[in-house]
Amino acid sequence: MTSPESATNRPLGVAMIGYAFMGKAHSNAWRNVASFFDVPAFEQKLLVGRDAAGVEAAAAKYGWAETATDWRSVMDRGDIDIVDICAPGWMHAEIAIAALQAGKHVLVEKPLANTLAEAEAMAAAAQAARAQGVQSMIGFNYRRVPALALARELIADGRVGTVRHIRAAYLQDWLADETAPMSWRLNKETAGSGALGDIASHAIDQVLFLLGDRVTEVSGRLHTFTTRRPGAAGMEDVTVDDAAWATLSLASGAIASVEVSRVATGRKNALSLEIYGDKGSLLFDLENLNELHFVDATAPAREQGFRRILVGEPEHPYLEAWWPQGHIIGWEHTFTHEIRDFLTAISTGTPPSPSFEDGLEVQRILNAIEESAAAKSSTILLARTT
């Protein structure tokens, strides 16, 4: 099983499955990436969605050459080398495993899957495909915020010393209105979980990414504030959480608190991270994503205090490719960086990060939070996997 493009040296053919919010964000990235970064040649060949008229309209808008209504048709096409999965979580495992087995490189949106069993099957398929030169990556796009990539570098360079604790919060309010309608995101069958899988997955991935650490113990709590919402069939049961809390113990001895909500009135898309070490600390807030606040506790006491780093220099991660210094970027650029890293990994044959195994690790932690919450006040020990 070798990827087909290597035989002919033609541009990589890309198919995207799903064209809603994430499909739009990824399409924008596919359209822009080659204008800013040196990436291997590729073509936006095919957009797949179940509704023929909807997918055609989206393809015309987002620059995809053709459309299809059945994702299975992608797997036999010799001109498709990359499958980008932006469909809802309940479809991830089946599509990703089929694509990997057909020798296609796969990028999949987070969370990896809706269940631990599906995530395990996906990680196993990714491992088998990798041995054949077929790459896979999970789209935790916030790893590609330049300020967070810089924070990771500063932590790795020892600039905050030994990290003692980290606060990760991801707060939104699109469900604060109790009359907001039912959707697939509020049903356990289709979404797997609520705020937990949707946004705690990001917060937990950041803890692992920033610290390069491993979670050993989890204690969690989940809550659903509005248990019934208007749906197509009248009032329907909400079967996922509105908000989740967890404390995580890390192998290094650090402790993380994670707090996520989709009913935090006034908060729109507020991912914040605070990292406290014995030599310094870092603060990040997605609502000001070009800023990182850093205190260097080794400086003389009378000079200490948080200083604001405007992450807009060509020396900062990813930024050399964009604008002259100080000309800042936005949320959508994180997806461009993600596609750039994925394409680079394919062309160099280097497995990209975060891998499906990284996605599985996040899924294990999400699962442990659910188990701990269900058991009320228990702590779940996570088995060492590597």
Interface residues with ligand SOE (CB under 6 A) are: 21, 172, 198-199, 269
Q: Is 364 exposed, middle or buried (0-12, 13-18, 19+ CB in 10 A)?
A: buried
Reference 329, options 288, 268, 294, 292; nearest CA is 288
- C-alpha–C-alpha distance, residues 171 and 85, integer Å: 25
Nearer to ligand SOE, 207 or 295 (CB): 207
Residues contacting residue 59 through CB under 8 Å, at least 6 positions apart = 19, 47, 65, 66, 67
DSSP 138-199: EE-GGGG-HHHHHHHHHHHTTTT-SEEEEEEEEE--TT-STTPPP-GGG-HHHHSSSHIIII
Exposure class string for 303-338: b at 16+ Cβ within 10 A, else e: eeeeeebebbeeebbbbebbeeeeebbeeebbbbbb
Closer Cβ to ligand SOE, 67 or 334, answer by number: 334
Residue 212 vs residues 204, 208, 209, 261, 386: alpha-carbon distances, Å:
12, 5, 5, 25, 14
Nearer to ligand SOE, 74 or 182 (CB): 182
CB atoms under 10 Å from CB of 350, counted, come to: 11
CB of 66 to ligand SOE, least distance (A): 27
In angstroms, what is the minimal distance from the CB of 289 to ligand SOE?
A: 12
Instruction: Give the end-to-end CA distance of the chain in Å, rounded to a whole number.
Output: 27
> Which residue do the tokens 């608190």 mark?
257
**Closer residue to ligand SOE in complex, CB, 122/286:** 286
Q: Is 85 helix (H, G, I), strand (E, B) or coil?
A: strand
CB of 334 to ligand SOE, least distance (A): 9
Question: Looking at beta carbons, which residue is closest to ligand SOE?
Answer: 198
Q: At closest approach, how far in Å is the CB of 170 from ligand SOE?
A: 8
> Minimal distance in Å, beta carbon 134 to ligand SOE?
25
- How many Cβ atoms are within 10 Å of 33's Cβ, its own excluded? 22
Rounded Cα–Cα distance for residues 347 and 26 (Å):
19
Can you name the residues that pair with 105 across neighbouring β-strands?
82
Closer CB to ligand SOE, residue 103 or residue 192? 192
Shortest CB 286 distance to ligand SOE, Å? 9
> Strand 291-296 to strand 215-223: parallel, antiparallel, or no bridges (unpaired)?
unpaired
> Which residues on neighbouring strands pair with residue 145, listed in sequence order?
none
Q: How far is the CB of 78 from ligand SOE (least distance, A)?
A: 32
Distance, in Å, from the CA atom of 93 to the CA atom of 229, rounded to the nearest integer, reads 28
Cβ closer to ligand SOE: 73 or 269? 269
Residue 91 CB, nearest distance to ligand SOE (Å)? Answer: 15
In the bound state with ligand SOE, the residue whose beta carbon lies nearer, of 20 and 381, is 20
| Residue placing its CB nearer to ligand SOE in the complex, 269 or 379 | 269
The nearer residue to ligand SOE, 97 or 200, going by C-beta atoms, is 200
Min separation Cβ 180 and ligand SOE, Å: 13
